[in-house]
Amino acid sequence: MDSLVAVVVPALVAVLTAAGAVIGLEFRDVDAYERRRGIWQWLLVLLAAVATMGATGSASGVGSLWQAVLMAVVAVAAIVFAHVMWRRRVPDAEPRIQAIATAAALSAVVVVVGSTALIYVQNTGCRQVDPLVQSSRASSAFVMPAVGPNQGPTVGDYQDWAKIIREQADQVTKGEAAQHAQRLAEVAEQIADSVRTNNTGRHYELSVEFYDELKPILTKCQIQLTA
């Protein structure tokens, strides 16, 4: 679904921007100057689409809000500038054509702003779960059993680790990430219990479950693990 949105939204913005920037323009039988102006308007259409792709991409997953806003501003500026250029080139366009072009440009702006905001809100859970994912990555020594006796973290360390995972999981309240986060916390607590009872076999099984719960979060939220 996310990959579909990443393609459909920029494509829709490109179509709407083009409708508001090049409708009724003549590209044949015009001089070189007018032809160059037409090319610039098409480049603005392309810029609007690319910037929209950047805005929605930055708003998804654990992306940055300021980057999403910056790219959305660039997209809106390209849409508006392209439409203004069109109005200057065809000041005597029919009222119906002007209305269509203006509506298309306004619609493109609404799509850019609306889709960026919606995607950012929908990915709240991904931003909430990022600290939990990074903690899980840094605590691989707890997830996998120790290779020998009297090695690795102590039972108390495992209890503290499971408590931290639970606290971070409880901070995730939105979307599918919340369900996986709660399951991660449950598995972490079970791992701590298996260490307390010295059940190494169960510990191995739970380590597989732990990473199985982690994988959907990484895929959905496009999180890059850091060392």
**Per-residue confidence of the chain (227 residues) as pLDDT tens digits?**
566 777 899 999 999 999 998 887 666 656 676 677 778 889 999 999 999 999 999 998 888 899 999 999 999 999 999 999 988 888 888 889 999 999 999 999 999 999 999 999 999 999 999 999 988 888 888 888 877 666 778 889 999 999 999 999 999 998 889 999 999 999 999 999 999 998 989 999 999 999 999 999 988 888 766 55
- CA dihedral defined by 71, 72, 74, 77, rounded to 10 degrees? 180
**Domain ranges for the chain:** 3-122, 125-221
pTM of the model: 0.80
Separation between Cα atoms, residue 104 and residue 87, nearest integer Å: 13
